[in-house]
């Protein structure tokens, strides 16, 4: 017996089309895609009024496993991913210990397989222990299954180390994902340097600290020919630099998160530590620039930077609370509300930024035709809902979207032909 998804509006992110059809899954694969497929002998789910899409791909999450599992673990993170429509996520290595050896790469895969609700693709650390001094063994990490390399969470201050990393990653066909901040300039400050930091009497993280490191890493990618991927872009200056580098043919891709085209630093005054993220929420000028860069393709991918923390940690005073927010269970709705409803993007354009574009950076497939692995999601574009973090599958409740009213909700996630989330 197969699984037949009836009366769907199938979104092809590569072709940019939406096609009414039925989709039949047999085993782990898509068996057929056509209108009016016969129902006999199959489990049938009616997707009338729903978009059916390839499973979402998030190339930037923090699952805190190993070592920090009171915040999140691979099982709870995978469940949150499934609830958000994600079938593949790439997890950053800033765990405890750091994911900097083949053994820890294999650990992540084993834990994800045991959880069985999402494909969790580990990113290997660029430097041993994320200390910035010695490169990890890129070849050994890639052989074990590292999908990319990054010291995200800890900027690599040494230009030589980034240059060496780009050269080491090139023959492996992997990207180096760069967290661009001048560490000395930003310290552990809680907010953007500007009107809000002045109002709160706090030191701020200046936008130039991001821009400088973006410029450096773009120059290194241009010189080496390596693939640099700029993580969580938040400033107008960074967007401009990436746009100009792409025009010159630099091998650069880049991402941003829903919070950077939805909110500004003013949200800190309303939601306190829930709005403390890294990089920080910026000015209205930056927000507009990030939105423009999403629309014109400068920023290829939309990611969550899913970063769970405990309630106790986020209850600390703003200067002492950790940066970060969870995002897997709100991302699609936040993007649909901010980008599709106002008419900035079509549904296929949005889904491309959340599937095919990050998949291309990571070198993984997306489901779009018969024979493809059946990693799929469906969402209701009309459902209006209010974000209640207490209902999250994630251990984290820390989100700036708490209490916000969003449009569009994931209703079904299928992983390798198995239903892993269903609220139809």
Q: Which helix (H) or strand (E) holds 171?
A: none
Whether cis (ω within 30° of 0) applies to the bond prior to 279 is yes
Do residues 167 and 222 lie in contact, with contact meaning Cβ atoms separated by under 8 Å? no
CA distance 168 to 120: 24
List the end-to-end C-alpha distance of the chain, in Å, as a whole number: 20
CA distance 9 to 17: 10
CA distance 324 to 279: 9
Query: Token pair 């069985």 is at which residue?
Result: 116
Do residues 207 and 192 lie in contact, with contact meaning Cβ atoms separated by under 8 Å? yes
* Burial (0-12, 13-18, 19+ Cβ within 10 Å), 32: middle
CA distance 258 to 291: 10
State residue 353 phi and psi, 5-degree precision. -70, -15
Whether cis (ω within 30° of 0) applies to the bond prior to 229 is no
The per-residue DSSP string of 224-236 comes to H---EEE-S---H
Given the residues 151, 305, 375, 380, select the one marked as catalytic: 305
Q: Which helix (H) or strand (E) holds 45?
A: strand 43-46
Is 305 a residue of the active site?
A: yes
CA distance 304 to 86: 11
CA distance 258 to 9: 24
What strand order describes the sheet that includes 149-150? 149-150, 176-178, 228-230, 252-256, 301-302
DSSP state letter for 275: G
The two beta strands, 376-386 and 405-415, are antiparallel
Q: Which helix (H) or strand (E) holds 315?
A: none
Chain length of the chain: 424
Q: Which residues are catalytic?
A: 305
């Amino acid at each position: 017996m197969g699984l037949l998804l009836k009366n769907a509006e199938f979104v092809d992110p590569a072709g940019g089309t939406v096609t009414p059809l039925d989709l039949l899954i047999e085993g782990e694969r898509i068996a057929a895609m056509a209108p009016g497929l016969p129902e006999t002998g199959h489990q049938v789910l009616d997707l009338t009024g729903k978009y059916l899409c390839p499973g979402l791909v998030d190339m930037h999450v923090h699952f805190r496993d190993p070592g920090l599992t009171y915040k999140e673990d691979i099982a709870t993170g995978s469940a949150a991913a499934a609830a958000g429509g994600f079938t593949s996520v790439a997890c950053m290595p800033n765990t405890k210990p750091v994911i900097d050896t083949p053994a820890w790469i294999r650990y992540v895969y084993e834990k994800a397989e045991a959880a069985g609700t999402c494909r969790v693709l580990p990113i290997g650390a660029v430097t041993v222990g994320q200390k910035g001094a010695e490169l990890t063994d890129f070849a050994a990490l890639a052989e074990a299954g590292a999908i990319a390399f990054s010291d995200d969470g800890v900027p690599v201050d040494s230009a030589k180390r980034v240059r060496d990393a780009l050269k080491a990653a090139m023959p492996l066909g992997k990207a180096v994902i760069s967290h661009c901040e001048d560490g000395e300039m930003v310290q552990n400050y809680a907010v953007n340097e500007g009107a809000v930091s002045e109002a709160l009497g706090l030191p701020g993280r200046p936008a130039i600290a991001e821009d400088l490191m973006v410029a450096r890493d773009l120059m290194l990618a241009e010189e080496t020919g390596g693939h640099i991927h700029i993580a969580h872009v938040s400033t107008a200056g960074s967007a401009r630099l990436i746009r100009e580098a792409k025009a010159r043919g630099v091998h650069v891709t880049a991402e941003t998160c829903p919070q950077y085209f939805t909110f500004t630093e003013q949200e800190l005054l309303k939601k306190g530590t829930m709005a403390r993220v890294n990089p920080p929420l910026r000015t209205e000028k930056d927000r507009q620039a990030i939105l423009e860069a999403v629309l014109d393709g400068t920023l290829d991918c939309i990611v969550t930077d899913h970063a769970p923390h405990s309630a106790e940690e986020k209850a600390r005073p703003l200067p002492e609370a950790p940066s970060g927010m969870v995002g897997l269970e709100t991302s699609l709705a936040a993007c649909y509300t901010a980008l599709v409803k106002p008419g900035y993007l079509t549904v296929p354009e949005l889904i491309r930024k959340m599937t095919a574009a990050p998949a291309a950076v990571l070198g993984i497939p997306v489901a779009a035709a018969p024979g493809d692995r059946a990693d799929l999601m469906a969402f209701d574009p009309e459902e209006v809902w209010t974000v209640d973090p207490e209902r999250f599958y994630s251990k984290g409740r820390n989100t700036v979207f708490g209490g916000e009213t969003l449009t569009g909700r994931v209703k079904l996630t299928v992983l390798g032909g198995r239903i892993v989330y269903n609220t139809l």
